[in-house]
Amino acid sequence: MPHVSFRSVVKPMLPWLLLGSLMVVGIGARVSHLEARVFWVDEVATATRVAGYARQEIVQELADGAVRSPADLLHYQQLSGDRTWSDTLNALRHSPEHAPLYFLLTRVWMQLFGSSVAAIRSFSVCLGLLLVPSVAWLGRLLFPRTAAGSWAAGLVLLSPYFVSYAQEARPYSLWALALVLSTGALFQALCHGKWLWWVGYGLTVALCLYTSLLSFPVFVGQGIYVLWHEQGRVRQTLRAYGLATLLGIVLFLPWVAVMVTQWGALEDNTTWARSPLPWPVMLGVWLYSLVILIWDVPIAAVPSVAALGQGAIAAGVLGSMGWAIASLLQTTAPTRWGLLAALALPTPLLLVGLDALRGGQVSATSRYLFPAQVAILLALAGFLGTGWHTHPRLARGFAGFGLLLCLVSVGLGLGRSPDYQKARNIHNGAIAALINAAPRPLLLAEPSATFDLLSLSHRLADAVQIQILSDPKQWLSTLTPPASSCATVETPFWFNPSPALRARLPTHADASSPTLIELYQPTLLTEGDIYLSLWQPHPLPPCLP
């Protein structure tokens, strides 16, 4: 009987053990701490629309000066028997800038699994997990006879960016999945010419459009790719491509009609995108949007050794990405990497062009660059799949470097809200802790802060009282409440008062005319950062410390 060593048995199993371990890490990171991250205003918008409440309706009902509890605000973010599918459709109609498919599917999910934060986010978790085999399939199509499919699955599984958005109650995981399916269907249709693949492509066009309006430029890019790819059979292929795209657009026409009839609401809901942002800041966001695919740690607000180290690693990630993609372009047929270019370039180019023309900042929103981010990860997977044989040392070094940074980022990010994802609500926990610790807290706010209050309500203790005031005369009266016994006097807080409110207050406080002082301000990365603050009347009533 031949001698069998332990090493000879274990060695062939090591790749499978490593793959299994990475899968456990990637899946575990997606399903753990589902309620730990801030449920920010965009996710609040998801929950309220699905529950059947339009934004204007919520503000009108809550800004009546009545005292409410956090549970009263959470009610608007949960399904209830008095709100039907018709209410959900009506709420979506009042936000035409967001395509409706994800929200309709989320309503089905919430009816099955409930309205808790974990239940709502678990739908995105499932979509994020479906993305893994989908990118593996597309990687194998684009780079056959290589391990590119496995690398694509591994990169998406461990990317801190895709882990974060797999826990986000927003359409981006569904959008990434739809983009991958659409790209794969187009490639199969071009390779095989079968009508079934062209019909499939047309359906994925509708799927993408019903998930995000920013899919439109992708299909323009794919049309250019089809012209370039099929130089010998242009007429036949273009006819098939045109009919398939037309099928997708025709299926999307009902929502186009909603957009046209609700154009004023669409313009009002996107005014933030037309606010100017300095170009150096925007350039930093664009580069950061690439780095966070692999490397994501909290951004240092002040210069330090840690900040320099993070910057050096980020520069290394960008340089490695650039070199890997350049190598792929040299060693792979243009008909293959060209399809990734058609996915990656159109949406960012359109957004940058719009910002250049209108002075806006929409291109500085990382999540709007999902087509480019998906394409870049596929390109990196293609390099690893092909370069493992052509550049073995460099490919292995890149793989080890990238996987290590992904694992570190995912580990550090467990339960933490990423800097790029939760915007001004990222400090909800610190604000809520100050309010919850006070005796008999009363939180006051203006109507403009309603949705931020809905977000904050997930962190507030049950004993907190909330009052939204729409009458400016009420603002001043809250500074000098009527005399009461010390046993009933409340601790007042003002949540993110507007400049208009603060301008009406005395600049110097005394016992008869108190003013507001800022109780909490987060550490800012730049002077122009938008943040939520907490203020308190000064001086406080004599009963309070």
Q: Which residues, 6 or more positions from 82, have their beta carbon under 8 angstroms from its beta carbon?
A: none
Query: Does the pTM of the predicted model rise above 0.95?
Result: no
Q: Which two tokens stand for residue 308?
A: 């320099």
- Any domain includes 353: yes
Asked if 362 and 470 sit in the same domain, the reply is no
What's the rounded Cα separation, in Å, for the pair 418 and 165?
10
Neighbours of 89 (CB within 10 A): 16
- Any domain includes 470: yes
Q: How many CA atoms lie within 13 A of 167 on its CB side?
A: 31
Mean pLDDT, the chain, whole residue set: 88
pLDDT (0 to 100) of residue 229:
78
Asked if 386 and 492 sit in the same domain, the reply is no
- pLDDT tens for 318-330 read 999 999 999 999 8
Q: Which two tokens stand for residue 118?
A: 């974990």
pLDDT band at 35 (very low <50, low <70, confident <90, very high): very high
Asked if 350 and 477 sit in the same domain, the reply is no
pLDDT (0 to 100) of residue 195:
92
- pLDDT tens for 160-214 read 999 999 999 999 999 999 999 999 999 999 998 899 999 999 999 999 999 999 9
What's the rounded Cα separation, in Å, for the pair 176 and 502?
43
Question: Is the Cβ–Cβ distance between 53 and 76 less than 8 Å?
Answer: yes
DSSP letters along 336-391, please? HHHHHHHHHSHHHHHHHHHHHHH---GGG-GGGGHHHHHHHHHHHHHHHHHHHHHS
Q: How many CA atoms lie within 13 A of 181 on its CB side?
A: 21
Domain closes at, from 421, 444, 470: 421
What's the rounded Cα separation, in Å, for the pair 208 and 216?
9
What's the rounded Cα separation, in Å, for the pair 166 and 177?
11
- pLDDT tens for 470-498 read 876 676 666 665 555 555 567 899 999 98
Q: Which two tokens stand for residue 492?
A: 């007042």
What's the rounded Cα separation, in Å, for the pair 35 and 41?
15
Q: How far apart are the first and last CA of the chain?
A: 84
pLDDT (0 to 100) of residue 154:
93
Asked if 368 and 476 sit in the same domain, the reply is no
Question: Is the Cβ–Cβ distance between 332 and 386 less than 8 Å?
Answer: yes
Domain closes at, from 367, 390, 421: 421
Asked if 153 and 121 sit in the same domain, the reply is yes
Sequence length of the chain is 545
pLDDT (0 to 100) of residue 516:
84
pLDDT band at 308 (very low <50, low <70, confident <90, very high): confident
pLDDT (0 to 100) of residue 417:
85
Element (H, E) at 538: strand 534-538
Q: What is the rounded average pLDDT of the residues 238-257?
A: 95
Asked if 385 and 435 sit in the same domain, the reply is no
- pLDDT tens for 452-468 read 999 999 999 999 999 99
- pLDDT tens for 54-67 read 999 999 999 999 99
- Any domain includes 167: yes
What's the rounded Cα separation, in Å, for the pair 364 and 299?
17
pLDDT band at 500 (very low <50, low <70, confident <90, very high): confident
- The partner residues of 517 in beta bridges, in order of sequence, read 536
- Any domain includes 59: no
pLDDT (0 to 100) of residue 179:
98
- pLDDT tens for 122-135 read 999 999 999 999 99
Asked if 135 and 214 sit in the same domain, the reply is yes
- pLDDT tens for 144-158 read 988 999 999 999 999
**Residue range of the domain that includes 520:** 424-538
Which carries the bigger pLDDT value, residue 541 or residue 218?
A: 218
Residue 397 has pLDDT above 60, yes or no: yes
- Any domain includes 472: yes
Q: Which two tokens stand for residue 490?
A: 């409340």
pLDDT (0 to 100) of residue 489:
64
Asked if 320 and 456 sit in the same domain, the reply is no
Asked if 505 and 518 sit in the same domain, the reply is yes
- Any domain includes 55: no
pLDDT band at 499 (very low <50, low <70, confident <90, very high): confident
- pLDDT tens for 5-31 read 555 545 555 566 777 788 889 999 999
Q: What percentage of the chain reaches a pLDDT higher than 90?
A: 64
Name the H helices within 391-471.
Answer: 392-413, 428-436, 450-456
pLDDT (0 to 100) of residue 236:
81
Q: Which two tokens stand for residue 504?
A: 């009406």
SS (H, E, C) 290-315: HHCCCCCCCCCCCCCHHHHHHHHHHH
pLDDT (0 to 100) of residue 481:
58
- Any domain includes 60: no
Contacts 24+ apart (CB under 8 A), 421-424: 421/40, 421/164, 421/165, 421/168, 421/367, 422/37, 422/38, 422/40, 423/40, 423/41, 423/42, 423/530, 424/452, 424/530, 424/531, 424/532
The domain total for the chain is: 2
Q: What percentage of the chain reaches a pLDDT higher than 70?
A: 88
Neighbours of 10 (CB within 10 A): 10
Asked if 262 and 214 sit in the same domain, the reply is yes
Asked if 326 and 308 sit in the same domain, the reply is yes
Domain closes at, from 400, 421, 442: 421
Q: Are strands 534-538 and 491-495 parallel, antiparallel or unpaired?
A: antiparallel
Q: Are strands 67-68 and 465-468 parallel, antiparallel or unpaired?
A: antiparallel
pLDDT (0 to 100) of residue 14:
58
Q: Which two tokens stand for residue 82?
A: 């008095």
Q: What is the rounded average pLDDT of the residues 430-451?
A: 95
Q: What is the rounded average pLDDT of the residues 413-429?
A: 88
CA angle 538, 543, 545 (to 5 degrees): 60
Q: Which residues, 6 or more positions from 442, have their beta carbon under 8 angstroms from its beta carbon?
A: 67, 464, 465, 466, 467, 490, 491, 492, 493
Q: Which two tokens stand for residue 447?
A: 């109507």
- Any domain includes 131: yes
Give all strands (DSSP E) within 399-503, no chain letters: 441-445, 465-468, 491-495
Q: What is the rounded average pLDDT of the residues 282-288?
A: 90
What's the rounded Cα separation, in Å, for the pair 203 and 113?
28
Q: What is the rounded average pLDDT of the residues 70-78?
A: 97
Asked if 432 and 417 sit in the same domain, the reply is no
